[in-house]
Amino acid sequence: MQSFFKSKNSAAPAEAPSVNWTARVRQGLSRTRDDLGRQLSGMFGGGTIDEARYEELETILLTADMGVSATTWLLEELRRQVKRNGLIDAAQLKGALQEALVALLASLAQPLDTAANKPFVIMLAGVNGAGKTTSIGKLAHHFQSQGKTVLLAAGDTFRAAAREQLMAWGERNGVAVIAQESTGQQKGDPAAVIFDAINAAKARGIDIVLADTAGRLATQLHLMEEIKKVKRVITKAEPGAPHEVLLVLDANIGQNAVNQVQAFDSALGLTGLIVTKLDGTAKGGVIAAIARQRQQKPPLPIRFIGVGEGMEDLKPFDAREFVEALFD
């Protein structure tokens, strides 16, 4: 096992919150907003609130990937607001829809608190191409901006370029990466890599361990058993760890995201989500579908959303800010 790009074991200076973050979210969600805006412009332009209006709105919400359950709930909430507040003009539906969306998403907006443990071990999982490794690099930057020290564990020993990609992020952030040396065709042991990374973090007094894992489909049962083993080994290295198990979701996959959440949660007991590539889709409503799936259960927070390719474009999820960015 090797440690690459030795960390100075000192965190980067804490950054002030970016005053441009709301603008970045708005820009990142422009495709969804533009698509919704075109469809909703006629909806909210005035006129009476009638059944035809609700049916038109239902079609728009489904097209935005909000799913049947979330769409049905939102329409029922709109009807309640219309009756309760005596709304009569369709132009009033815009504000009502925004408030209904905020109410649906509010339980998902729970910032991640890493102060309870040192090292605080975060395990990331997801399917191939969801953006796990890139998210880890951005998370390292985020935590460093909070004054935390970070160590990366290259637990994706399956994909040939994953180790090198994580090492590049380590170099870019100036943090250590624990990885196995490349041995040709033989794949390394992801559990062993992460086990060593946690022990290294304890020895060095590191605050945060970010553990990468190989991408896998929930239907690949042998690989799902492997990732369960990785989690068990993490617990052996540090009782109580992993302190956070994050599923990385690609916003472009639409309703399949709901199925992924269910499958990975059943296998690993997820504690949160990262929704990536929201800037690359015109159907960002999938977050509403995820929220509705968990509405009758303990909420599964969206810890971070990705709205761009830059280092600063992964930030904690804020329900109201997100909803406001969806509308003009």
Residue 259: CATH number of its domain: 3.40.50.300
Residue 269 lies in a domain: yes
- Chain-centroid distance, C-alpha 71: 22
**Rounded distance between C-alpha atoms, residue 326 and residue 136, angstroms:** 26
Token pair of 288, please? 């509403």
pLDDT tens string 249-259: 998 888 889 99
Residue 97 lies in a domain: no
**pLDDT attached to residue 12:** 44
Confidence of residue 304 (pLDDT cuts 50, 70, 90): very high
Residue 74 lies in a domain: no
Full-model pTM: 0.90
2-4 and 272-276 beta bridge pairing: unpaired
Residue 271 lies in a domain: yes
Residue 136 lies in a domain: yes
Residue 61 lies in a domain: no
Residue 54 lies in a domain: no
Residue 63 lies in a domain: no
pLDDT tens string 120-160: 999 999 999 899 999 999 999 999 999 999 999 999 988 87
Expressed as residue numbers, the domain containing 245 is 2-13+109-326
**Number of domains within the chain:** 1
Q: What would the DSSP string read from start to end of 217-251?
A: -TT-HHHHHHHHHHHHHHHHHSTT--SEEEEEEEG
**E strands along 113-199, which residues?**
120-125, 150-153, 176-179
